[in-house]
Structure 1
């Protein structure tokens, strides 16, 4: 059996009781921190909380899935992942691959950045459109998805890239989108566009700031992890919530 276990956003206390129990019940326990990283914790703290040794896997080891599925044929294998269990495409693929080789799978959900970002910003979660990842590479696909969401009045949650120990900031993401806007000129994301920056969701002291893109560029959001929200059409209650975040 393979278990994909979401362990939340910040530290070892972010795990649900179910996640902790399911992890402790595994014969082999892995973790990956390339799709998300828990800055309030460490591998040792997680091991102490669960009471089991944990082996950290690389992106390549998780994406190939070969060793994981091989061991899951005869043992209970758990993969600890930040946030919710199934937010990343890689984890969904593992579940599909396990079914193809006859390995039973189980999903243990955790606190997700998708719902947490909506809650912290005061925006209504059901009014969000497609979620987009903003990579370090200069790609225009994030701009296209924001434009698509705006066409139906939907908000856009932008997940910011993690690469080789580098963590994109809200400021970097805004600069990238403004650079694309300068090239495309389609009035999708301009200096006076409203945006919300969030840092360290799930921590005791998350940072949440709203303002124009130009205003947020001047803000210091501190340490990772960070996300950016581009609001669509606002309900009056959402407008009130964002006004509070501008102060």
Structure 2
């Protein structure tokens, strides 16, 4: 069995009760910190609260070389952990499909996401959000990708809000900040109104 468990948004206590129970019953636990981070905790505190050792995997260890995750799930109950919800704004659905191809049962235990927090913290109606996009570090793409601007402009034409996720570099502890994002997007978009939600949860 492979359980995909969302950890919520902030610290080791943001997990749901169902997620805590599933993690507590796991024989092995794996986590990734490259799509998002719990800013109020670290792996050691997660391990201490939940009583299990957690192996942190980099992107290659999840997407290209997940063999040890599948082995643990085939032999017992493995938990795969990610901040937020494991199936939102990630590629982890591929990991789930690959587990199914190997005959491994899976389940998803959802967590609170940045998308729901952004709507509730800003008071903006979730029905008024269009397609979301991610703003990467400009040095990795030679500036702001055209797809980011196109997504925002398309939503604006439909009178919809845009949730812009800001890139992180988990291996180097780098986070694209709201003020830098505003500088990057201000010129191409003509200084639109923006609201930053940071460290929700």
TM-score normalised by length of structure 1: 0.75
Say whether the 8 Å CA contact 2:3–2:109 is kept in structure 1. yes
Q: Using CA pairs below 8 Å that are at least 6 residues apart, which structure has the higher relative contact order?
A: 2
Gapped regions of structure 2 (runs ≥ 5): none
Does 2:201 correspond to 1:195?
Answer: no
- The corresponding residue for 1:119 is 120
| 1:175-220 deviations in Å (ceiling 9; x for gaps) | 11134x1xxxxxxx212x2111111111xxxxxxxxxxxxxxxxxx
Tell me the distance in 2 between the aligned counterparts of 1:134 and 1:50: 33
Q: How far 1:88 sits from its partner (Å)?
A: 3.1
| Inter-partner Cα distance in structure 1 for 2:89 and 2:196 | 21
The aligned counterpart of 1:59 is 59
2:75 partner SS: coil
Secondary structure of 1:9's match? Answer: coil
Structure 1 vs Structure 2 CA RMSD: 1.2
- The alpha carbon displacement at 1:55 in A equals 1.2
Gaps of 5+ in 1: 182-188, 203-247
2:15 corresponds in structure 1 to 15
Matches within 5 A, 1:18-29: 18-29=18-29
Separation in structure 2 between the aligned mates of residue 26 and residue 53 of structure 1, nearest angstrom: 10
Aligned twin of 2:149? 143
8 Å Cα contact 2:3/2:77 also seen in 1: yes
Distance 2:36 2:186 in 1: 25
Superposed displacement of residue 126, structure 1? 1.5
Q: Work out which of the two has the higher radius of gyration on C-alpha atoms and give 1 or 2.
A: 1
Q: For 1:64-122, what per-residue CA distance to the aligned partner results, in whole angstroms no more than 9, with x for missing partners?
A: 22321233222211111101121133211111111122111110001111000010010
Determine which of 175, 195, 200 is the counterpart of 1:167.
Answer: 175
Cross-structure match for 1:78: 79
Moved more, 102-111 or 56-65: 56-65
Q: State the distance in 1 between where 2:150 and 2:3 align.
A: 35
SS across alignment from 2:22: helix
Which shifted more, 80-89 or 62-71?
Answer: 62-71
Post-superposition Cα deviations, 1:152-172, rounded to whole Å, max 9, x if no partner, equal 211100000001321000111
Q: Distance in 2 between the 1:3 and 1:88 partners?
A: 18
**1:125, 1:36 → 2: CA distance?**
21
Contact in 2 for aligned 1:4/1:80 (Cα 8 Å): yes
Q: How many residues align?
A: 193
Distance in 2 between residues matched to 1:111 and 1:98, nearest whole Å: 24
